[in-house]
Structure 1
């Protein structure tokens, strides 16, 4: 997915405290170092920048986690196939009779079976039957066992490859998770550098900005013109108003942006892929002039942030760390595209 940086957001965006402890922890230089103390506005801008920088790796993490789940499912299915085929091989060995007995007695494979497995099975069996060294029943069993052994070898190689890829994705997910958490931890430290009074003023500024732009995370119910699945998706989304944004989350107590859109449409019986980019690729594109409630809105670009159109020039979305699911004017962020599930 892309790593585009989005433009500076409008001033309405508020900064939340992320559950900061009541006591302020000073991270600023001591007076003896004579370093300038950042102003509250500077802290606000730095924190906002860190939150923005966390968005791209958040979506990357979501994509990696989806790949990880897919690889795990494939590996599990492969191991189930191996177990079933091993049972079939064991049953075939029992049918071979004396050859199988010799194998278990000697602790190795009977020379004739070894020749069969390592050479041309058809050629071996033809000659063995001509010489009376094996019965038709044994020949059929040997052919079947050779085929299953080959399948076992292929399946084991495939599972080994899947497991290696799975470990690589796990490592990549851990790195991306560390990147996101590092940025969020830095933002928390910056906010902790403010006094209690400064943080209170910042909260007041947030509320003022939201009131000025029409943003609201107050509980409400959808009562617009949508019907059918679109209405079901919006009913679900409205029920999440006020719940916190949390990176990598798909609910039920918190959401990231694509987690909210996916969960909302899933409540309507429509399965969407996990990330912003995947949802953009999967949906049927609609023009801004043709927007209908329930359509998915993409702001900035195709990879970074999305929400759902609710009608009357407004959208619902999970904004970013420190904020709650809210309704905002559609044009409070640069409109990029829209799609209809």
Structure 2
């Protein structure tokens, strides 16, 4: 291949740089030592060029993963707020019916008073010449006063409840709309990042794609080897809990299924969709996103982790996998990949969390 072909790859990398948000950190795999390029392909795209492509792809897919987490969180919150709105609507309907009934009772009492000539019970009582009738009437007056006060008080409380429900419903609706906008924004960013990554990969020939895949494997293997060389695996000997075994069994059954952002099965998954569904299958509900899993679940030392625990990756908790033992995880890597086994140390570990602590 001539220098024109090489220039095409350089231009592709430059274009992707221009459309990518670079503020978020990329996946910091250890860089492998480039393999020597055969002399017969000296003018072709070099391993150095492909290494630059690999790092750029890591960054693009990392940013897409961050946006996917934002999308999933917005979707989860929108579902919660929709449920709350339905509940509030039911309360408003029930409260309005109650208020209508109270008003009807108040109207009936007023009508009864009108039919009696409008003379208050107290006045009719004072005009009575019968002592027994006076005593009986006194009791009825007291009961009537209490009933009237109770009726008015209940009407007031019901009216206040309705006003509160209406305000809560308005607040929930505003938050729902806000999360819908957040979902739309995240979705747009996800598509942009993935499209840029796919465009970059499409510029490569089949042989170059194979070499790129090999570089990815070398980077992951080197990072895993460095992690294992620390002796950490000698300290990890925890046994899975009963629920942990069920979660691992679920995750294992998904091996080979495609990655799809925002998906949580049964045919496709993103990283946190896989882990959340695995634990749901074991009877333990956990947060939907990797960032919320990191925030809300109990953190444990790496040396204490056991099968079923979740390994959170990158300094922004943008990726998660499930530890299955022997230094390995099952995870849904990124678009274009399938649910697979990987070394637990093949990516930078932020924390380990335990769903069934």
Task: Tell me if both proteins adopt one fold, taking TM over 0.5 as the criterion.
Answer: yes
Change (3 A) 1:279 1:41: closer
Residue equivalent to 2:106: 96
Change (3 A) 1:200 1:240: farther
Change (3 A) 1:230 1:302: farther
Separation of aligned partners in 1, 2:316 and 2:299:
12
Residue equivalent to 2:213: 206
Residue equivalent to 1:229: 243
Separation of aligned partners in 1, 2:293 and 2:100:
47
Contact 2:248-2:324 at 8 Å conserved across structures: yes
Residue equivalent to 2:317: 303
Separation of aligned partners in 1, 2:315 and 2:86:
36
- Counterpart of 1:331 in 2: which secondary structure? coil
The CA RMSD over aligned residues, in Å, is 3.2
**Structure 1: which 5+ runs fail to align?**
13-38, 102-127, 216-223
Say which structure is richer in helix: 2
Q: Structure 1 residue 42: deviation in Å?
A: 5.5
- Counterpart of 1:316 in 2: which secondary structure? strand
Separation of aligned partners in 2, 1:163 and 1:131:
53
Separation of aligned partners in 2, 1:138 and 1:206:
81
Change (3 A) 1:289 1:44: closer
* Number of aligned residue pairs: 276
Q: 1:268 aligns with which of 264, 270, 282?
A: 282
Separation of aligned partners in 1, 2:71 and 2:307:
29
Larger Rg: 2
Question: Are 2:197 and 1:183 equivalent residues in the alignment?
Answer: no
Residue equivalent to 1:164: 174
Residue equivalent to 1:6: 26
**Structure 2: which 5+ runs fail to align?**
1-22, 33-48, 112-119, 125-140, 225-237
Contact 2:50-2:212 at 8 Å conserved across structures: no
Separation of aligned partners in 2, 1:129 and 1:255:
74
Calculate the TM-score normalised by the size of structure 1. 0.71
Change (3 A) 1:161 1:99: farther
Calculate the TM-score normalised by the size of structure 2. 0.68
Q: Structure 1 residue 63: deviation in Å?
A: 1.6
